[in-house]
Amino acid sequence: MSTYLITGIAGFIGSSLARAVLQRGGRVRGIDNFSTGKAENIAEIIDQIDFREADLLDLWATQQACRDVDYVLHEAAIPSVPRSINKPLETNRANVDGTLNLLIAAHAMRKWGVSFMRHCPRRMVIRQRCRSARTWLPTQFLLTPFPNLLESTT
């Protein structure tokens, strides 16, 4: 049975992913700072998950959340375009620096043994581009569409 870390678990997408993982028998650990997510989104599953109220900008908390997980479903973000225009530094810190902290934490905890999954409708195109460009992406960085979330991507 795999353990999934879902960042932004209190958001609509994160909480929906958590329910899907639980229905398929997986274990869920969630991390959210409630900056855009809502506690009521996870109220019905809070007793079934390992929830941590923390910010991805807190590297120690992020490292602890990554400990002993098999997959990371990274959905934490500030998704508002108007907010990103009005507060670009805050948005950049949350979206870019938070993601970087997550990558650092996963690397430190599992040496890339953690597989990353992210909603992406054009999975094949992006995976092929990453391979051909020989980017820094590790081979375990998986981009999968939501409907096939728990299916093999290889």
* Record: fold of 3-148: Rossmann fold (3.40.50)
pLDDT of residue 72: 87
Instruction: State pLDDT tens for residues 34-83.
Output: 999 999 999 999 999 999 999 999 999 999 998 888 888 889 989 888 98
Tokens at 109, concatenated:
């905890």
- Separation CA 99–CA 47 (nearest Å): 27
Write out the E strands in the chain: 3-7, 27-32, 50-53, 71-74, 115-119, 141-144
Say what the pLDDT of residue 52 is: 97
Strands in 8-152 per DSSP E: 27-32, 50-53, 71-74, 115-119, 141-144
**pLDDT number for residue 56:** 95
The whole-number pLDDT of residue 124 equals 34
Q: How far apart are CA 98 and CA 62, in angstroms?
A: 9
104 or 127: which leads in pLDDT: 104
Tokens 């941590």 found at: 52
pLDDT given at position 132:
40
Most confident of the following: 23-27, 69-73, 132-136: 23-27
pTM for the full model? 0.73
Of the candidate ranges 3-12, 16-25, 47-56, 106-115, the one whose mean pLDDT is the lowest: 106-115
| Mean pLDDT along residues 140-153 | 41
Query: 107 versus 90: which is more confidently predicted?
Result: 90
What would the mean pLDDT of 17-40 be, rounded to a whole number? 95
Model confidence at 120: pLDDT above 50: no
Percent helix, strand and coil across the chain, each to the nearest 5: 45, 20, 35
Residue 32 has pLDDT above 60, yes or no: yes
Distance (Å, rounded) from C-alpha 83 to C-alpha 88? Answer: 7
